[in-house]
Amino acid sequence: DADVTQTPRNRITKTGKRIMLECSQTKGHDRMYWYRQDPGLGLRLIYYSFDVKDINKGEISDGYSVSRQAQAKFSLSLESAIPNQTALYFCATSDPDRWEQYFGPGTRLTVT
C-alpha cells in the first residue's frame, strides 16, 4: 500500500463550487504539506502543518484553506473554486529529523 494517498485522483468541478481534497499517510510523520503544480512553474507550497495544532500558510494560500484532522490526515479545501485553480495538487509528508519529503500521487483538479 502507498504511504501517502490522495483522494480523489481526478476531479472536474464548476466555478463557485466548494471542493475538498484529502490526504492520508501511514508514515507516522508529523509534518504534512500541500503543493500545487502548474506547467512551467514547478511546485509551489500552499499550506503546511508541523503537527495537528500547527497550520501555516505557504507561498500561495489565497483561495485555499486546510484542516489537519489527525496526525495522518490533512485536507485542502477550495471554498469557491475558480478556473485558475486548475492544477495538479500534491500532498507530502516529512520527518522533522530528515529533510526528504514523501509525495502522494497527486489530484488533478479541473475547474470549468
Partner 1 sequence: GDSVTQMEGPVTLSEEAFLTINCTYTATGYPSLFWYVQYPGEGLQLLLKATKADDKGSNKGFEATYRKETTSFHLEKGSVQVSDSAVYFCALIYSGGSNYKLTFGKGTLLTVNP
Q: Which residues contact partner 1 by CB under 8 A? A: 4, 31, 40-45, 48, 50, 58, 90, 92, 94, 99-106
Least distance (Å) from partner 1 to the CB of residue 16?
29
**Which of 57, 94, 32, 56 is CA-nearest to residue 21?**
32
Tell me how far apart the alpha carbons of residues 19 and 11 are, in angstroms, rounded to a whole number.
Answer: 9
Q: What would the grid cell of residue 48 be?
A: 503546511
When the beta carbons of 41 and 70 are compared against partner 1, the nearer one is: 41
Least distance (Å) from partner 1 to the CB of residue 80?
27
